[in-house]
Amino acid sequence: MPYQNIRVIPKANQTKIVEESWGLKVYVTASAEKGKANKAAIEVLAEHFGVKKDQIWFITGQRSRNKVVEIRK
């Protein structure tokens, strides 16, 4: 699968994914400290795309809200 642009929104009221014209907004309830929001985003993306968590890789943006991920099937 090609790369996917995402924006992670930490400390959201609910966990959800919203499709935008440029990519996906991933809302997670976890805070953005010690990688908690990234782990939560991986879990949500894995469920959304129907893959295992270890099949999702951050290409860029490990410490940014804007990220590029690769989903391997």
- Could you give the angle at the alpha carbon of 7 between the alpha carbons of 68 and 35, nearest 5°? 80
C-alpha angle 27-29-31 in degrees, rounded to nearest 5: 105
pLDDT in tens, 38-55: 999 999 999 999 999 999
Q: Average of pLDDT values for 5-33?
A: 97
**Which residues are 66's β-sheet partners?**
7
Q: What is the mean pLDDT of residues 27-31?
A: 97
- pTM (2 decimals)? 0.92
Q: What is the DSSP string of 11-68?
A: S-SS-EEEE-SSSEEEE-SS-SSTTHHHHHHHHHHHHHHT--GGGEEEEE-TTSSEEE
